[in-house]
Amino acid sequence: MKKIATYMSLAILALGMAACDNRPNVVGQWQGQIKQNDVGFQADYTVSLGFGGDGKASASVLAAMSEPMAETDSIVSPYQFTATGTATMSGTWQYAKGKDDEIVITFDPSSLDVQVQPDAVVQQENVFTGQQDPEMEALKPDIADNLKEKFTETVQANGMNVTITHVKVKKPLMEFKYKGENYVFRMASGPTAEE
């Protein structure tokens, strides 16, 4: 009976190890582009995701944003401003229960830090005149604050609890799905051996 129990224990352990082997090894730092179309402003995102071997996660988002200003009584012709902003956060990650190719990332809301500096706001040439309006420069701090608010709302609504599915790793690339879209991230740091 002892031998049977021992064999069963070894078999269970072997099955557990095999299941772990099926999990993609995501430990490291990964970078890629994320699409986000359901926001109230235009932005392109470069995302860096970090997966620690200790279960800790980190994320850094670089957003290239644009804020169009429609024609009003005081603004005769429309102008557009562009700016860059960053968001960083930390949290934890784990494989989804019973799904080796699915990863759940939970970020701590208190760790979220969003920055959009007025110096990063650039006035684009007027679409009709091809010129800039010096008087519009005074609006940069307000525009930076407005973009920061929208950027923060976007991250809070979409990025604090993230589940990526269909994860496949063949270093230096990681393929996955997020909100129905297919993505490919490239390893920025970590083990580089092909798997």
Query: Phi and psi at residue 19, in whole multiples of 5°?
Result: -65, -40
What's the domain count of the chain? 1
Selection from 61, 68, 64, 66 nearest residue 84 by Cα:
64
pLDDT band at 7 (very low <50, low <70, confident <90, very high): very low
Q: Among 18-22, 116-120, 172-176, 186-190, which range has the highest average pLDDT?
A: 172-176
Asked whether residue 194 is domain-assigned, the answer is: no
Whether residue 143 contacts residue 121, with contact meaning beta carbons closer than 8 Å, is answered with yes
- CB distance 27 to 167 below 8 Å: no
Q: Is 8 a domain residue?
A: no
Q: Is residue 90 part of a domain?
A: yes
Residue 88 sits in a domain whose CATH number is: 2.40.128.280
Query: Is 10 domain-assigned?
Result: no
**Which of 44-53, 60-69, 165-174 is predicted least confidently?**
60-69
Q: What is the DSSP string of 87-145?
A: EEEEEEEEEETTEEEEEEEEE-GGG-EEE--GGG-EEPPPTTTS---GGGGGGHHHHHH
Higher pLDDT: 14 or 140? It is 140
**Is 14 inside any structural domain?**
no
Region of 179 on the Ramachandran plot (φ > 0 left; ψ -120 to 50 alpha; else beta): left
Answer whether residue 31 is part of any domain. yes
pTM confidence score:
0.76
**For residue 184, what pLDDT is reported?**
97
- For 170-183, what is each residue's pLDDT tens digit? 989 999 999 899 99
Question: Does a structural domain hold residue 21?
Answer: no
| Confidence at residue 127, expressed as pLDDT on a 0 to 100 scale | 58
Supply φ then ψ for residue 15, to 5 degrees.
-65, -40
Question: Is residue 157 classed as helix, strand or coil in its secondary structure?
Answer: helix
In terms of Cβ atoms closer than 10 Å to its own Cβ (0-12, 13-18, 19+), residue 17 is: exposed
User: What band does 17 get if pLDDT is binned at 50, 70 and 90?
Assistant: very low
Cα 77 to Cα 137: distance, rounded to the nearest angstrom: 15
**What confidence score (pLDDT) does residue 129 get?**
63
In a domain, 86, yes or no: yes
* Residue ranges making up the domain that contains 145: 26-189
Q: What is the pLDDT of residues 57-72, one digit of tens each?
A: 999 999 998 877 655 5
pLDDT at 164 over 70: yes
